[in-house]
Amino acid sequence: MDKDRITGAAKDVAGKVEGAFGDLTGDAQTQASGNARQAAGTVQNLYGQAKDAVKDAADTASSYAKDALDSDVYRDGTRAVTSQVKENPLGALLIAGGIGFALAMLLSRPPRRSRWR
Protein backbone atom coordinates (compact mmCIF):
# COMPACT_ATOMS: atom_id res chain seq x y z
CA MET A 1 0.00 0.00 0.00
CA ASP A 2 1.33 3.38 -1.05
CA LYS A 3 1.89 6.23 1.41
CA ASP A 4 -0.28 8.46 -0.77
CA ARG A 5 -3.18 6.08 -0.25
CA ILE A 6 -2.72 6.16 3.53
CA THR A 7 -2.35 9.95 3.65
CA GLY A 8 -5.30 10.40 1.30
CA ALA A 9 -7.52 8.16 3.42
CA ALA A 10 -6.52 10.09 6.54
CA LYS A 11 -7.30 13.43 4.88
CA ASP A 12 -10.61 12.03 3.65
CA VAL A 13 -11.64 10.98 7.16
CA ALA A 14 -10.44 14.27 8.65
CA GLY A 15 -12.42 16.17 6.02
CA LYS A 16 -15.56 14.17 6.80
CA VAL A 17 -15.16 14.89 10.51
CA GLU A 18 -14.52 18.59 9.87
CA GLY A 19 -17.51 18.80 7.52
CA ALA A 20 -19.76 17.07 10.05
CA PHE A 21 -18.55 19.46 12.75
CA GLY A 22 -19.35 22.37 10.44
CA ASP A 23 -22.85 20.92 9.91
CA LEU A 24 -23.40 20.58 13.65
CA THR A 25 -22.24 24.09 14.48
CA GLY A 26 -23.79 25.69 11.41
CA ASP A 27 -20.42 27.13 10.38
CA ALA A 28 -20.37 27.24 6.56
CA GLN A 29 -16.64 28.00 6.42
CA THR A 30 -15.74 24.93 8.50
CA GLN A 31 -18.09 22.81 6.43
CA ALA A 32 -16.52 24.07 3.17
CA SER A 33 -13.03 23.52 4.55
CA GLY A 34 -13.97 19.96 5.50
CA ASN A 35 -15.39 19.27 2.06
CA ALA A 36 -12.23 20.64 0.45
CA ARG A 37 -10.02 18.49 2.69
CA GLN A 38 -12.18 15.45 1.94
CA ALA A 39 -11.88 16.08 -1.80
CA ALA A 40 -8.11 16.49 -1.54
CA GLY A 41 -7.87 13.26 0.42
CA THR A 42 -9.95 11.41 -2.17
CA VAL A 43 -7.75 12.69 -4.99
CA GLN A 44 -4.56 11.73 -3.15
CA ASN A 45 -5.99 8.28 -2.41
CA LEU A 46 -6.87 7.79 -6.08
CA TYR A 47 -3.37 8.93 -7.06
CA GLY A 48 -1.88 6.33 -4.73
CA GLN A 49 -4.17 3.66 -6.18
CA ALA A 50 -3.06 4.60 -9.69
CA LYS A 51 0.61 4.38 -8.65
CA ASP A 52 -0.01 0.96 -7.15
CA ALA A 53 -1.79 -0.20 -10.31
CA VAL A 54 1.09 0.98 -12.52
CA LYS A 55 3.62 -0.72 -10.25
CA ASP A 56 1.63 -3.97 -10.34
CA ALA A 57 1.34 -3.79 -14.14
CA ALA A 58 5.08 -3.17 -14.48
CA ASP A 59 5.86 -6.10 -12.20
CA THR A 60 3.53 -8.35 -14.20
CA ALA A 61 5.05 -7.23 -17.52
CA SER A 62 8.54 -7.80 -16.16
CA SER A 63 7.55 -11.28 -15.02
CA TYR A 64 6.07 -12.09 -18.44
CA ALA A 65 9.21 -10.80 -20.20
CA LYS A 66 11.45 -12.86 -17.93
CA ASP A 67 9.33 -15.96 -18.56
CA ALA A 68 9.47 -15.33 -22.32
CA LEU A 69 13.25 -15.01 -22.28
CA ASP A 70 13.56 -18.22 -20.28
CA SER A 71 11.25 -20.17 -22.59
CA ASP A 72 12.35 -22.69 -25.19
CA VAL A 73 10.44 -20.84 -27.92
CA TYR A 74 12.72 -17.82 -27.63
CA ARG A 75 15.85 -20.00 -27.71
CA ASP A 76 14.55 -21.98 -30.69
CA GLY A 77 13.72 -18.77 -32.57
CA THR A 78 17.14 -17.34 -31.85
CA ARG A 79 18.80 -20.52 -33.09
CA ALA A 80 16.66 -20.48 -36.26
CA VAL A 81 17.56 -16.87 -37.07
CA THR A 82 21.23 -17.55 -36.36
CA SER A 83 21.29 -20.55 -38.67
CA GLN A 84 19.55 -18.60 -41.46
CA VAL A 85 22.07 -15.77 -41.15
CA LYS A 86 24.95 -18.28 -41.25
CA GLU A 87 23.50 -19.98 -44.34
CA ASN A 88 22.78 -16.75 -46.22
CA PRO A 89 24.78 -13.82 -44.84
CA LEU A 90 24.30 -11.60 -47.92
CA GLY A 91 20.52 -11.97 -47.80
CA ALA A 92 20.49 -11.18 -44.07
CA LEU A 93 22.65 -8.11 -44.70
CA LEU A 94 20.32 -6.89 -47.47
CA ILE A 95 17.25 -7.39 -45.29
CA ALA A 96 18.86 -5.55 -42.35
CA GLY A 97 19.94 -2.73 -44.68
CA GLY A 98 16.43 -2.44 -46.12
CA ILE A 99 14.89 -2.25 -42.67
CA GLY A 100 17.46 0.37 -41.62
CA PHE A 101 16.80 2.42 -44.77
CA ALA A 102 13.03 2.29 -44.22
CA LEU A 103 13.44 3.40 -40.60
CA ALA A 104 15.75 6.23 -41.65
CA MET A 105 13.24 7.43 -44.22
CA LEU A 106 10.41 7.34 -41.69
CA LEU A 107 12.35 9.15 -38.99
CA SER A 108 14.02 11.82 -41.15
CA ARG A 109 11.07 13.03 -43.21
CA PRO A 110 9.81 16.54 -42.45
CA PRO A 111 6.62 16.89 -40.43
CA ARG A 112 3.39 17.20 -42.38
CA ARG A 113 1.95 20.66 -42.80
CA SER A 114 -1.54 21.29 -41.62
CA ARG A 115 -4.04 22.15 -44.34
CA TRP A 116 -6.19 24.12 -41.91
CA ARG A 117 -4.36 27.32 -41.14
Structural domain boundaries, residue 103: 78-111
- Amino acid identity of residue 87, one-letter, is E
What letter does residue 32 receive in the DSSP assignment?
H
The reply to whether 52 and 1 lie within a common domain is yes
56: CB partners within 8 A, 6+ apart:
none
The answer to whether position 39 is within a domain reads: yes
Span 43-75, pLDDT tens digits:
988 888 898 899 999 999 998 888 877 888 788
The answer to whether position 116 is within a domain reads: no
How many domains does the chain divide into?
2
The reply to whether 13 and 59 lie within a common domain is yes
The reply to whether 101 and 53 lie within a common domain is no
Taking the chain (117 residues) in runs of 10, the rounded mean pLDDT of each run is: 82 88 86 89 89 91 84 84 92 95 90 70
What letter does residue 109 receive in the DSSP assignment?
S
Q: How many CA atoms lie within 13 A of 25 on its CB side?
A: 12
The reply to whether 26 and 57 lie within a common domain is yes
The reply to whether 16 and 61 lie within a common domain is yes
The reply to whether 32 and 89 lie within a common domain is no
The reply to whether 52 and 86 lie within a common domain is no
pLDDT of residue 117: 58
| pTM exceeds 0.95 | no
The reply to whether 22 and 60 lie within a common domain is yes
